[in-house]
Amino acid sequence: MSSELDALIGQKWKKPPFIKRTWLRWTLGIGFTAYLIAAFMTIDVNWSRVYEGLDRGAAFILAFTSPDFISRAADIRDGILESIIMTVAASVVGIAISIPIGLGAARNIAPLPVYLVCRGIVAISRALQEIIVAILLVAIFGFGPLAGFLTLSFATIGFLSKLLAEDIESMDKVQAEAIKASGARWLQWINYGVQPQVMPRLVGLSMYRIDINFRESAILGLVGAGGIGATLNTAFDRYEYDTAAAILIIIILIVMALEYLSGIIRAKVQ
């Protein structure tokens, strides 16, 4: 059937190239390949060390077939509990602070001075990566979950405020203007005109941020900011790959549970 159709049309259809000019397409391809080769040549790779590390890598992968949940059960339990407490507390505080900042960072409902201040807070929070903030806070407050709690709260503010502000700026203006036209005060306008439109999205983003905060809590422990990351780092330092595998399996299971819970809550809200 296709050959008959080709015969009728006289020429097979071919997808047009993304870049029409042949010489330009080849030039860009060769240039990109040369750039990749040059970039790779600048990387200082110690191949003998890589070869020696293959055995440790294989041992770590094989450890997932026999994870050890028993030998350091108390440390794993304490680390997981510390990460959960740190995650929940930081998420609650971060979300509570993000809502007013998100409202202030939405240009369609906030006056210009408030908008600039709130956008500045969002920009600062998003500019600093969590590890950098954690190292700074560990230097100020010392090792422990307090530095991790403050780091996750700070990161939550930048993440949630920005996305909340963008949702408010793209909301349906008709509903909000109808509430305003009824003579509602500013808080009533926010409660009845803005909040119903952004609440499902806010709940979904909050659940997503809790998921991120738990995973970040495992990373922050590597720099001394508390959580299960400290236990994981110790297991790696001692070459206890079976214990490290057990910790990673628990983290994966908790993240999967959070993802499942997030889906249920989003479905209920929407």
Q: Render pLDDT for 70-107 as a digit per residue (tens, 0 to 9).
A: 888 888 898 889 888 989 999 999 999 999 999 999 88
Buried-state track 227-238, b at ≥16 Cβ within 10 A, e below 16: bbbbbbbbbbee
Which pLDDT does position 6 carry in this prediction?
62
| Chain segment 102-150, per-residue pLDDT in tens | 999 988 888 899 999 999 999 998 888 888 888 898 888 888 888 889 9
Q: What is this structure's pTM?
A: 0.76
With vertex at residue 60, the alpha carbon angle to CA 257 and CA 249, rounded to the nearest 5 degrees, is 10
Which pLDDT does position 178 carry in this prediction?
83
Which is nearest to 232 in space by CA: 33, 11, 22, 75?
75
Q: How many CB atoms neighbour CB 43 within 10 A?
A: 6
Mean pLDDT per 10-residue interval, the chain, length 270 residues: 62 76 90 93 84 84 86 88 90 92 88 91 88 89 88 91 90 80 82 85 86 85 82 85 90 87 77
Residues 130, 149: Cα–Cα separation, whole Å: 11
Question: Contact 169/105 with Cβ under 8 angstroms?
Answer: no
Residues 171, 19: Cα–Cα separation, whole Å: 38
Which pLDDT does position 270 carry in this prediction?
65
Q: Where are the alpha helices (DSSP H) in 64-191?
A: 73-104, 112-127, 130-141, 145-169, 173-181, 186-189
Which pLDDT does position 154 carry in this prediction?
92
| Four-residue CA torsion sign, 118, 123, 129, 133 | negative
